[in-house]
Amino acid sequence: MAFEGLSDKLAAAFKKLKSKGRLNEDDIKVAMREVRLALLEADVNYKVVKDFVKDVSARAVGADVLESLTPAQQVIKIVNEELCRLMGSENARINIPSKPPCIIMMCGLQGSGKTTHSAKLAKHFRSQGHRPLLVACDVYRPAAIDQLKVVGAKAEAPVFELGQIDPVQIAQKAVAHAKDHGNDIVILDTAGRLHIDEELMNELKNIKSAVSPNEILLVVDSMTGQDAVNVAQSFDETLGIDGVILTKLDGDTRGGAALSVLAVTGKPVKFAGIGEKLEDLEPFHPERMASRILG
């Protein structure tokens, strides 16, 4: 599970602090050095680590902490609060407009989990009483359309496809189809590439301007660590995104992406993918993640 290494290292640093009883500034400095290393080893963006340690240190050397009866506990509490703040102080959700359909455009690199998470979202919305329509806009690989049909059937959501024609047209027709058929949510599964390239970005921009999505969600693979954050930054700069779905948090990812995405891009993680099955989707809760990290 994600964060194992980070959790162990933070626990070790805090154990030392707790064994000391009273603390002075030097004790805090030593502990913060260990926190810094633990975060860097977990693949958290270096600038994010620097700011994090600075913020925690500034609060931890205050008289209210050092002179308290349980200074180590106070430091841990501060780390917990700052971790939550880093990942987002409020739970970021998808804003469903009052006038349907809500158009969600899924984008991301190939293999990040876009198709799987389109279906996971469809299942999630169905369980809330919505009627999502899945749309096959990834037209370059015929297998991608078939894959969406397979996962769509599992999610019990209809799949709209027009074969391998212009994805902009498919998106437009899908929105019209949704209006005619009472689908209040449209989930566009767009094409991914192995790397960000101009052609892909242009296609995504064209789909965006043709259907004006309510949400552009970027799917990133947490196993790719810092790369996941770089990808998020590039997509946000060129296309503009509303949030991130962080996938494969069940694997042995070091978790750095979860801690860096919001600070680097200003865009929140909205969902976490925690397995290959369609029910393995969680709304992203910063407090829950923080307590998972702090054990």
Other CB atoms within 10 Å distance of the CB of residue 291: 13
Nearest residue (CB) to ligand GDP, 100 versus 275: 275
Q: Kindly list the residues in this chain that would bind ligand GDP in the complex (CB under 6 A).
A: 108, 110-116, 192, 247-248, 250-251, 273-276, 280
Instruction: Give the separation between CA 273 and CA 77, rounded to whole angstroms.
Output: 27
* Among candidate residues 209, 253, 290, 264, the one with its CA nearest the CA of residue 113: 253
Tokens 């009627």, residue located: 131
- Closest approach of ligand GDP to the CB of residue 150, in Å: 11
Instruction: Give the separation between CA 244 and CA 266, rounded to whole angstroms.
Output: 11
**Measured CA angle at 230 (ends 226, 234), to 5 deg:** 170
Nearest residue (CB) to ligand GDP, 115 versus 265: 115
- Closest approach of ligand GDP to the CB of residue 119, in Å: 8
Nearest residue (CB) to ligand GDP, 25 versus 276: 276
Q: Is 88 annotated as a binding residue?
A: no
The total number of residues shown for the chain amounts to 295
Nearest residue (CB) to ligand GDP, 250 versus 287: 250
Establish whether the linkage from the previous residue to 101 is cis, with ω within 30° of 0. Answer: yes
- Closest approach of ligand GDP to the CB of residue 133, in Å: 18
- Closest approach of ligand GDP to the CB of residue 105, in Å: 14
Residues in the annotated binding site for GTP: 108-115, 189-193, 247-250
Residues in the annotated binding site: 108-115, 189-193, 247-250
